[in-house]
Structure 1
Amino acid sequence: MNRNPVNEFREYVNNAVNHSDQGTGADMLKEALTRLHRETDYRIILPVHDEILLEVPEDEAQQAKEVLKTIMLDVERKYVTVVPAEAEAKIGPTWADAH
């Protein structure tokens, strides 16, 4: 097998960056989940990659959407300082409908 040192180096660098990004994303999600649990009474149904699925009474949906977005932005700004923070929250009767 013929190994190319340049390609191997690129692969190592790519893996190092990817692992760092994935780890930071996981840390941000865990912190957001912890804050939601401590600061709200919302029922956390499921974290999916970089999403959090909540179940709340319909009359609290808009407020929950704003709280979730605020927490996600606060956490993201703590970890990511080079690019602007973005977060999106949607309301729907099911997870599929909210996508």
Structure 2
Amino acid sequence: MPDKTEKRSSSTDLHAVIDRIEDNDTAVVLLGDDEKISVDVPLALLPEGATDGAHLRIRITLDNDSRKSAEDRIKNLQEKLQKRSGTENKKSFKL
């Protein structure tokens, strides 16, 4: 029987439109082809010259390297704390 699960990519591209600018510092951005999802985005994060009605392309990408670095950093901190408290071999769990 063929596998019907769809393999998802590690990144997603979205179409977006700036609906309006509020208080000169926040853009209300409508996401997706149907523009049904609305998010507030600080203007500082948008390209220079982005105004009402501008169309955007947004890419969301998983950053596995950053996640691994954070996990390693937390693991090292946990080990230091366990050694300091004298409980280094008593309890173990995975993030």
Tell me the TM-score normalised to structure 1 length: 0.29
Tell me the TM-score normalised to structure 2 length: 0.30
Which has a greater percent of helix? 1
Greater relative contact order: 1 or 2 (C-alpha under 8 angstroms, separation 6 or more)? 2
Larger Rg: 2
